[in-house]
Structure 1
Amino acid sequence: MSLYPLQGRTAIVTGGSSGIGLACVELLLEAGASVAFCGRDAERLQRAENDLRQRFPQGRLLAQVCDVLDGEAVNAFASASQAALGAASVLINNAGQGRVSTFADTTDSAWTEELNLKFFSVINPVRAFKPQLQNQADAAIVCVNSLLASQPEPHMVATSAARAGIKNLVRSMATEFAPQGIRVNGILIGLVESGQWRRRFEAREERDLDWAQWTARLAQQKHIPLGRLGLPLEAARAILFLASPLSAYTTGSHIDVSGGLSRHA
């Protein structure tokens, strides 16, 4: 039996076709939940679905192409998931990657795009699924956020500002939704292995370094005490804890998953 008591529940994962999102889908299926997940890339989504159905032949699963910035598309995803799997009791908002830019070179359109992405990738799913969540016992929303929310970087100024806003939004929603029985929490990730880091690795100048050597050096340069990048699975485990009744008395909080990179208590 899984450690996490999610049997019979329906969970939703946005951005679930790769990385942390896909790791969440896998853990949720292992925990006995029915899972609906979405992504923008139809081909990648199909590959993920095919692999999951092979690995979890008894699992109840729905995969649907959906851009979380399109409110109507998210509403359609919410309706489809409820029809196929029942009302959701867990919503995991897994936002996209960061933008590298300083204050001096971030244009107005870049600011608008980044703030819109970070906020509405949370706002639209919460709006769409909240009617389902508020009718479920121990409903939970978990938002995947970045350590940048508390520890901004000057070369990621727009993303840092947006991430700080999402951290505040989590706290605001937690307070507002608590009387309706919905807990809202988040995680703050540091450097986690992803397609984005793999692309940077492929473009590296030091061709003599393999992935392990390159990431170890990166961790050293970034002063990560644990000396390595995190794994999507490690972030997903923290998310699953917050999504499950094991954290039934936790709301408005964030778990730091940064390998010790955080300089804040």
Structure 2
Amino acid sequence: MTFDLSGKTALITGSSRGIGLSIANGLAEAGARIVLNGINTTRLAETQASLANKFGAARVESRAFDVVDEEQVNAAVASIESDIGPIDIVVNNAGVQHREPLLDVSLEAWRRVVDINLTSAFVVGRAVARGMVDRGHGKVVNICSVQTELARQTIGPYTAAKGALRNLTRAMTAEWAPSGLQINGLAPGYIHTEMTQKLVDDPAFNEWILGRTPAHRWGTVEDLVGPAVFLASEASDYVNGQVLFVDGGMTVVV
């Protein structure tokens, strides 16, 4: 029963596809009412319809908003809590990648990656946490990465953002845990999604991943569901400020 999310409302950013969609599906399977988010309104509507068909329309909502626009975020959070109910769980999943050597990355590209991967967790997390602090409970799950711990060529902005997201998680814990919140990070390894398909299809890179990962395989979006449910549920009530790596062992070997 400690993993049961029945009666809980969860907002998952960047959840119209990929990792965010899988986590949203998993939280719904655990009993939560879910609120999907994205900026592609067509895809968001299609995803909502698909999950509503599976779980029932009453348990699947959506809000289209830009996760780095504070005005839009505040309006969306107010709308959710007014129309649906208090947000018990927020998963800060929205992210973007940019592959280019640091010597060539434009400042515009740098800011875009840092904003979407890091600043959005601050903007959305804070907007939701205000209500959680008042109510004395809540779960904040920040989606980190193996790049929270490691670095690789050509993805410097992403690595910097995900590293900083771990310390944002710690800062949130320092300030909000005394009010009854649990704030943790979930760090996927190399996950096979449509966004990483080109890497999977690259024979040299694919072989590097298989050799570098003790589990000797790519992760799947389903591998993240159990850990996400754990961090969103009562099972993690005394877990705070941690980053749970789900990476097949990549970050513990050389």
Question: Could you tell me how far 1:58 is from its partner in structure 2?
Answer: 6.3
Gaps of 5+ in 1: 207-213
Does the 8 A contact of 1:91 with 1:141 survive in 2?
Answer: yes
Question: CA separation in 2, counterparts of 1:25 and 1:63?
Answer: 11
Gaps of 5+ in 2: none
Q: Which residue of 2 aligns with 1:101?
A: 100
**2:89 pairs with 1:90:** yes
Question: Could you tell me how far 1:199 is from its partner in structure 2?
Answer: 4.5
Does the 8 A contact of 1:34 with 1:85 survive in 2?
Answer: no
What TM-score, normalized to structure 1?
A: 0.88
**2:216 pairs with 1:230:** no
Does the 8 A contact of 1:150 with 1:164 survive in 2?
Answer: yes
What TM-score, normalized to structure 2?
A: 0.92
Residue 246 of structure 2 aligns with an amino acid whose one-letter code is V
Matching of residues 185-196 of structure 1 within 5 Å:
185-196=184-195
Residue 74 of structure 2 aligns with an amino acid whose one-letter code is N
**2:237 pairs with 1:248:** yes
Normalized per residue, the structure richer in helix is 2
Q: CA RMSD in A?
A: 2.2
Question: Could you tell me how far 1:103 is from its partner in structure 2?
Answer: 2.0
Question: Could you tell me how far 1:186 is from its partner in structure 2?
Answer: 0.4
Q: What number of residue pairs does the alignment pair up?
A: 254
Residue 92 of structure 1 aligns with an amino acid whose one-letter code is V
Matching of residues 1-265 of structure 1 within 5 Å:
4-57=3-56, 59-136=58-135, 138-200=137-199, 204=201, 217=207, 219-220=209-210, 223-263=212-252
Question: CA separation in 2, counterparts of 1:164 and 1:205?
Answer: 26
Q: Render the CA deviation track for 1:66-111: whole Å, top value 9, x for unaligned.
A: 1101111111211221122210111110031322122222222222
Residue 4 of structure 1 aligns to a residue in which SS? coil
Question: CA separation in 2, counterparts of 1:261 and 1:225?
Answer: 6
**246-255 vs 187-196, greater mean Cα deviation:** 187-196
Residue 245 of structure 1 aligns with an amino acid whose one-letter code is E
Identity %: 27
